[in-house]
Amino acid sequence: MINLAIYILLGVNILVCILLTLLVLMQKPRSEGLGAAFGGSFTDSIFGAQTSDVLTKGTIWLGVIFMSLTLLLGLLYSHRQVGSNKLQEELKKPVSTVSTNSLPPPVPSSTTSTNTPATTPAAPVPANP
């Protein structure tokens, strides 16, 4: 149920983003920046003489809708239970210890210990006549 609401609100939020972007680009700035790209008086001929008031109010309303939808989506995502159960199960598992069979054998040391007797070649034993 929550997943369906998330997908629907996400689609509406994307639509609001696109409309908000278009409204901001259609506004006529004081220096005639991007507003001139739409033909200068394009918005005046569509919306009438009070174009700036209509576009400003529309921008404010779409901005409020965008922020509200974004906060609502954040709340819905935090209450979604899809992956949190798996993560909690993994965190509750005991930590496995490393067995001694999986460790590599110890590397023999090249130095001899002082406690071991030195092995010297034995002298030849004479035979009994």
Cβ(82)–Cβ(4) below 8 Å = no
Domain regions of the chain by residue span: 2-39+49-81
Helix or strand (DSSP H, E) at 115: none
Per-residue pLDDT tens for 36-67?
Answer: 555 555 555 565 556 667 888 899 999 999 99
Per-residue pLDDT tens for 88-117?
Answer: 777 788 877 666 566 666 777 766 555 655
pTM for this entry: 0.50
Q: What is the DSSP letter of 119?
A: -
Cβ-count burial of 12 within 10 angstroms (0-12 exposed, 13-18 middle, 19+ buried)?
A: middle
Backbone φ/ψ region at 103: left (φ over 0), alpha (ψ -120 to 50), beta: beta
Tokens found for residue 17: 């983003």
